[in-house]
Amino acid sequence: MVLFVLYLLNDPSKTLIAFVVVLCVLAILLASIHSILPVFVLAAMGLVGMVMARTAQKNYSTEVITILPALILLGAIVFYVFYSASQLSISAWQLIEKYFTQAVELNIKFYSQLPLKPEELKAIQDSKPAVINLFTGIFPALCIIVVLFIVWMNTLMGNRALYKAGVVLPQLSSLCEWRAPGWLVWFFIAGGALSLLGQANIRLWGLNVFLVVSFIYLLQGLAIVSFFFQHKNIPFFFRWISYFLIAIQQILMIAIAVMGLFDIWIDFRKYFRKDQTTT
């Protein structure tokens, strides 16, 4: 977000030079403690911010402003996974499975310290292999969802900071009107159908597609909610409370995603406009 905003408010070449200088200084400081990895992470995130700014500056669509930086970040994650796996002389999939195994074991250790019944604790321990296999299988979808969420949120926050500074990006000025392409529903149906098949690998890939498309419909549902808030002039305090409740309540999140899906046929925003015209 910082690089996104600075790139558009200042001279791009000066912003790039300043960023490179900061990276070099950090690299020198971290080299003394043999921890150079954070520099590469910061470099990747900074590059993503500048690509976001460049695509916005060129008046590309909202989808390009989001997807292109997301692909860069996903590429960095893939590189890190394969590099780390090669360092350990294991496959990338084994590395991911190892990570989730450690995470699940830590959670089981935490639950063992809670006042649970022996049979409840045993049920948690018995479900360990299934949980590890599930999260390992949907790792691609988790990565894509997290990356899209990061880019989307940084775009929203950066756009708000730019607006306060007097910079208006036309393609980002009406995000509450955004909707997913109509053809995406076929991927939703295909992913859902494949996730019900008996073959494990096909089922997992179908589940990955289903989860990613569902998240996109969640974004569309949030755009509808934002549209409603703006047209009803809901105070910002209540808007943030609503977004917080959506974030922590899975049922609300599913309901918003379903609303985003059915917006293909119902067009909820049309009814909100009609209500405002009537009042």
Cβ atoms within 10 Å of 105's Cβ, excluding its own: 13
Instruction: Let me know whether 82 and 104 are in one domain.
Output: yes
Q: The domain containing residue 230 runs over which residues? A: 174-279
Instruction: Let me know whether 108 and 217 are in one domain.
Output: no
Q: How far apart are CA 263 and CA 261, in angstroms?
A: 5
Structure tokens at 253: 């999140």
Domain stop point among 135, 168, 201: 168
pTM given for the model: 0.87
Contacts (Cβ under 8 Å, ≥6 apart) of 232: 272, 276
Instruction: Let me know whether 36 and 106 are in one domain.
Output: yes
Domain count, the chain: 2
Q: How far apart are CA 172 and CA 53, in angstroms?
A: 12
Instruction: Let me know whether 143 and 194 are in one domain.
Output: no
- The pLDDT profile of the chain, 279 residues, written as one tens digit per residue, is 999 999 999 998 999 999 999 999 988 888 877 777 788 888 999 999 999 999 998 889 888 999 999 999 999 999 999 989 998 899 999 999 999 999 888 988 888 887 877 887 888 888 888 889 989 999 999 999 999 999 999 998 898 899 889 888 888 887 888 888 889 999 999 999 998 887 888 899 999 999 999 999 999 999 999 888 888 888 888 888 888 888 888 888 999 999 999 988 888 888 777 665 555
Domain stop point among 168, 187, 218: 168
